[in-house]
Homo-oligomer: A and B are copies of this chain.
Amino acid sequence: MSDTTPAAYDDLLDRVGRIANVSHASDLLSWDQQVMMPDEGTPARSRQLSTLSAVEHDLLVADELGRLLDELETADLTPEQRAVVREVRREQERAVRVPTDLVERISAASSEALTAWREAREADDFGTFAPHLRELLDLKQRYAEHVDPDRDPYAVLFEEYEPCLPLDHAEDVLTTLREAVVPLVDDIRGADADLATDTFAGTFDADRQEALVRDALDDLGYPWERGRLDAAPHPFSTGTTYDARITTRYDETDPIGALLSTVHEFGHATYTLGLPDEAHGTPLGEARDLSIHESQSRLWENHVGRSRAFWEGFLPRVVEAFPAVGDPSVREAYEAVNAVDPSNLIRVEADELTYHLHIVLRFEIERDLIRGDLDVTEVPAVWNEKMESYLGVRPETDAEGCLQDIHWSHGSFGYFPTYSLGSVIAAQLFDAAEAEVEGLDDAIRAGEFDPLHDWLTDRIHRHGKRFETNELVSRATGDDVSADAFVDYAREKYGSLYGL
């Protein structure tokens, strides 16, 4: 800190650092719960997480923190310091406005809803989940009203996940996506192409998959001294710039699934690792929210891991690891990892293109539910109609339809759009990287990922929360957040793949 830094700013950083430390401790406890904890450890772990969450909340709503923020909002600060104050104030304000007992009620209701959702999905019976969904919607509407009674409640909830990209802007992106992707998928469905989707068909030992995945992470430059790879039922990435861990999942019939899922999580981890050490524990050392995080994972998964250049370099490694695949061409590998399947009903299994329609559908339904424009009982019918209209398929069961995702039973309304936003930002960033990093394609082909990694660190990672979402993207790419780059990329890629 310079000599002119107000004492209140140092106090603020001290308090903010404690909040961050508790939050990172919770993250580690959650990682352990999903990766290491024995089966019966849940009762104690739940209590630990619940106490840490309460401690974090108490630290955030402390009067003294509010007083420091008041003082600093009129103090003479650097732009970085002002960004810190802005970010802390945003979180603090929300925490102060929402009563603790409402947060606890949401937590309790979602805990019950989670069990009900599992049972409903098992029994393929939306009716038993409906009352839980209704209660959560009601509680989250109240939550939004506490935060700001004068604004669209869905916009308020969206800000929990994407606090500084206005919903209007996000909605434009999603509409553009839908209007471009629906006809493109329609064209693909009508195309007379026969892609080599069985290039990697077979059964593949999980240990060899793990060895291959570790090789890929070595190539990508994952720093093992600051990370680790483990298996988890639902792959995720978590941690800090000092310790950013990846998990993956091995399916014996789908070796490429583990590989690309790991590359995806690597993208998340590399963002976390690119945050500046010296700002650890402050907003300048924290990732800019979910869509930017997802842009990093999608960029590595789709623009690197599904690129022709990557497969030109990496295919021999796959063949070496799994001789049973024979001797496929790069074209066959490229087709296998990029084939579009509009008939797939399940979001998490969807290809890169149709994925967006799964998201748009969920976004439209949850928005209307929160705004009160749709009743819970109508969800299965609306879901199935939209599936038919966007993708040309109709789920036969709710288990394969509106009960497939966990998010709503967590009370997460406003989360889904961040997936598609991440994807379109990934396309924008990759375009800009291609324009600025000389020989990027050749580097990827040669297994040299440092140039791309350095560019991303410079443009995105090292800034933490210094800039708001749109400013961060437009500084990196020259453009506002938009679906255009993705749409161009998709038209070219799938046009070429499907001879459109």
Q: Are B280 and A38 in contact (CB under 8 A)?
A: no
**Most B C-beta atoms less than 10 A away, residue of A32, A36, A51, A240:** A51
- Pick the contact of A52: B25, B32, B223, B228 (CB < 8 A): B25
Inter-subunit contact A242/B40 (CB<8 Å) = yes
- A224 shortest CB reach to chain B, Å: 7
Q: How far is the CA of A274 from the CA of B24 in the complex (A)?
A: 31
Among B25, B280, B281, point to the contact of A25 (Cβ < 8 A).
B25
- Give the docked Cα–Cα distance between A41 and B423 (Å): 30
Which chain B residue has the least Cβ–Cβ distance from A226?
A: B40
Q: Contact check: which of B51, B225, B228, B277 meets A36 at CB < 8 Å?
A: B228
Quick check: is A276 within 8 A (CB to CB) of the other chain? no
Indicate if A81 sits at the interface (CB-CB under 8 A): no
Q: In the complex, identify which listed stretch (A15-23, A93-101, A148-156) lies at the interface while the others stay far away.
A: A15-23
- Residue pair A47, B21 in contact (C-beta under 8 Å): yes
Distance between A353 CB and nearest chain B CB, rounded to angstroms: 36
Tell me if A243 is interfacial: C-beta within 8 Å of chain B: yes
CB neighbours (8 Å) of A24 from chain B are 44, 48
Expressed in whole angstroms, the minimum distance between the Cβ of A230 and any Cβ of chain B is: 9
Task: List the B side residues contacting A227 at CB < 8 Å.
Answer: 38
Q: Which of A219-245 contact B (CB under 8 A)?
A: 223-228, 240-243, 245
Interface pairs (11), CB distance under 8 Å: A21-B47, A21-B51, A22-B51, A22-B52, A28-B29, A36-B36, A38-B224, A38-B227, A43-B242, A44-B280, A55-B55
Chain A, 233-276, CB within 8 A of any chain B CB: 240-243, 245
A410 adjacent to chain B (CB < 8 Å) = no
Which of B28, B39, B277 is the one whose CB lies under 8 Å from A48? B28
| Interface pair B281/A41, CB less than 8 Å apart | no
Interface: A42 (CB within 8 A): yes
8 Å CB contact of A37 from B42, B51, B223, B243:
B243
CB-based nearest B residue for A17: B47
When the two chains form their complex, are residues A25 and B51 in contact, meaning their CB atoms are under 8 A apart?
A: yes
A45 at the interface (CB under 8 A from B): yes
Q: A25-B52, A38-B228, A41-B226 are in contact. List 6 more A-B contacts (CB 8 A).
A: A22-B52, A25-B48, A25-B51, A38-B225, A40-B225, A42-B242
Per-residue B-contact encoding for A323-337, CB less than 8 Å = 1, 0 else: 000000000000000
**Which of chain B's residues have a CB closer than 8 A to the CB of A41?**
226, 240, 242-243
Asked whether any CB of chain B lies closer than 8 Å to the CB of A435, the reply is no
Q: What residues of chain A have their CB less than 8 Å away from a CB belonging to chain B? A: 17-18, 21-22, 24-25, 28-29, 32, 36-45, 47-48, 50-52, 54-55, 223-228, 240-243, 245, 277, 280-281
A224 to B38, CA, bound (A): 7
Complexed CA–CA distance, A29 and B37 (Å): 13
Residues of B within 8 A of A45 (CB): 242-243
CA distance A389 to B264 in the complex (A): 65
Most chain B CB within a 10 A radius of its CB, from A39, A44, A47, A226: A44
CA distance A114 to B367 in the complex (A): 57
C-alpha spacing A43/B242, complex, angstroms: 7
Residues of B within 8 A of A22 (CB): 48, 51-52, 55
Choose one: B18, B37, B50, B280; the contact of A54 (CB below 8 Å). Answer: B18
Residue of B with least CB distance to A22: B51
Write the nearest CB–CB distance from A45 to chain B, whole angstroms: 7
Which residue of chain B lies nearest to A43 when distances are taken between CB atoms in the complex? B242
Who on chain B is nearest to A55 by CB? B55
Task: Specify which chain B residues have a CB less than 8 angstroms from the CB of A21 in the assembled complex.
Answer: 47-48, 50-52
> What is the distance, in angstroms, from A334's C-beta to the closest C-beta of chain B?
34
